[in-house]
Chain A
Amino acid sequence: MKITVPTGDDAQPGVASIVIVEPEEARILVSLADQLQALLAEALESPIDDDSAVRRLLPDAYRHEPELADEWRRLSRRGLVDRKIGFARTLSRALAPVANDDLSHSVSISTDAALDWVRGIGDLRLVIADRMGIIVDGDEGTFGEPGLRDVYEWLAWMQDGLVQVIEASEPPTRSEAGS
């Protein structure tokens, strides 16, 4: 994979990055993103979060006020889950054509799509870390299939590259919350 920022003659309006993706890479990402969407969809149906990965993806907003935590969950959870599913879906949809081909593709993404990728990849890392047993800073991860650690680190590299792409396409600081 290569994450590039188109400049000069390659620059196109609305394109923040061109990502060159190998089919094998696309297949890994599509498979993970599809599993994440399923996990999130299940979480909406389940009254209790018995999966520690789900608890990390969708943490309580209050630690000491259970009633406020319940109220927040009732009001915010569905929307939050829908948006997280949307981030993962952006990844799957963009990469499905590459996964189904035997040649690498150049995938053009907008700043908005890059933001979805960054957050979807972050969620994938949270789930993988949970599956590997990464609990505190410095944990190497004891569980999971061989190669999972490489995928985990590859996702971090990808997320970092896309953050740089977004930074290059946006003004230096901007508050989304109007605070």
Chain B
Amino acid sequence: MTRVPAGESQGQLLERPVHAAEVPWTIVVWNDPVNLMSYVSWVFRRHFGVDAPTAEHLMMQVHSEGRATLAEGNREHMERHAEAMHEYGLWATVERAPR
């Protein structure tokens, strides 16, 4: 649960407390020195159902920037992705989507 900081809520009609379930979450895959680039790409294609160029782009992002966001949605759904990534041996974490 997040809330409007004290003292800032008055007069801001558009602000309202946001229920935790409404806050979007993301699944982030991190670079590691072990898994092969071709393997990471294949996992992205197979699990997330993305096409080959998209998988390649995301894999390169992981490789060069150290991380990539693979999906966004509710927390439970992102946790299922995390579990699947860990099954494949990829290092993945769930994060709040940037707001």
Contact = CB atoms under 8 A, between A and B. Distances in A.
B38 A160 contact: yes
B86 interface: yes
Interface residues of A, number: 42
Contacts of B95: 62-64
Nearest to A176: B47
B71 interface: yes
Contacts of B82: 61, 72
B93 A175 contact: no
- Interface core residue of A119, A123, A170, A176 (most chain B CB under 10 Å): A176
Contacts of A48: none
A134 B79 contact: no
Contact of B34 (A60, A83, A134, A173): A134
Interface string A97-135: 000000000000000000000010011011001000011
B47 to A, nearest CB: 5
A137 B40 CA distance: 14
Contacts of A175: 47-49
Interface in B84-99: 84, 86-89, 91-95
B33 A59 contact: no
Contacts of A126: 34, 89
B83 A80 contact: yes
Interface of A: 56-64, 68, 72, 76, 79-80, 83-84, 119, 122-123, 125-126, 129, 134-139, 156, 159-160, 163, 166-167, 170, 172-177, 179
21 contacts: A58-B86, A59-B86, A59-B91, A59-B93, A61-B94, A62-B93, A68-B94, A72-B79, A76-B79, A79-B83, A80-B86, A119-B87, A122-B88, A125-B34, A136-B33, A139-B33, A163-B38, A175-B49, A176-B46, A177-B77, A179-B73
